[in-house]
Amino acid sequence: MTSPVDDLHTIRDLLRYAASRFAASPLYFGHGTDNVWDEAVQLVLRSVHLPLENNNIFLDARLTRSERDLILNRIERRINERVPIAYLLGEGWFMGMPFNVDERVLVPRSPLGELLENGLQPWLGDTYVQRVLDLCTGSGCIGIGAATVFDEAEVTLSDISEDALAVAESNIELHGLQGRVQAVCSDVFDSIDGRYDVILSNPPYVDAEDMADMPEEYRHEPELGLAAGHDGLDIAHRIIAKAADHLTEDGLLIVEVGNSWGAMDDAYPDLPLTWLEFESGGDGVFLVTARDLRQWQAKKS
């Protein structure tokens, strides 16, 4: 295909071209955008480090040839290789903040961001948050988001993947949180010490059927961060088994299990899980208190 680099000159030109190319292609949107236009805006504007909002002043700005070449190359990779835009840019967004991302970590997209933006209310009540644990942290976006909300809390980012932790550590530095946020290599709770007021987790939760059927875009993400056995609950089971040992008396456990929520309900009929609702979309997130976990465990023993 002949490159249109000599025919497209302004940001507006590139936005129109990207939107047209994306609309004519069998792309899947699920890594931060849900439509052709938003996908085009993110790719074009962030490729030249311009803001995603309040950007009308730039639309008729002319781009250099190297900038046009870069954008056109990324458009073709998005279409032909089905690479998520976050990987093309090396940047994902969560709670309005940028995060370094690459194919060592999942692209940030958890509805847990909405909960954090609301201060975990009304669930948290008057509990003062001193320590937060982000299990299966990946890029670190959830734990770092928590650190910005609970600005006196110490936050632990935990993951089994050293590669993921390298990305998380880069994001700790990006947001200047070296004093309060630490990254720890741990297989779920195996290397975790002490108790936390809040444990947040977006663990692997994709079941075998969904792994086989997922769109090509997800094939670029690390399987370690997605696959969780036949019912999608391999990691969730381990979290439930040990979470009470790592929660304070008034602690909260909040876990995202996505499409595996039905299997989760079936597996724990006697555990009072609260399934949360989100104004901005998303589901499959449960909350359970430390007290309910301990009472449930006591009845089992």
pLDDT one-digit tens code per residue, 237-284? 999 999 999 999 999 999 999 989 999 999 999 999 999 999 887 889
d(CA 138, CA 235): 14
**Is residue 3 pLDDT above 90, yes or no?**
no
Contact between 288 and 246 under an 8 Å Cβ cutoff? The reply is no
Cα(first)–Cα(last) distance of the chain, in Å? 67
Q: Which of 170, 112, 117, 96 is nearest to 139 (CA)?
A: 170
For tokens 């809040």, name the residue. Answer: 198
pLDDT one-digit tens code per residue, 27-75? 999 888 889 999 999 999 999 999 988 888 999 999 999 999 999 999 9
d(CA 154, CA 117): 18
pTM (2 d.p.): 0.94
| Exposed/middle/buried for residue 251 (C-beta within 10 Å: 0-12, 13-18, 19+) | buried
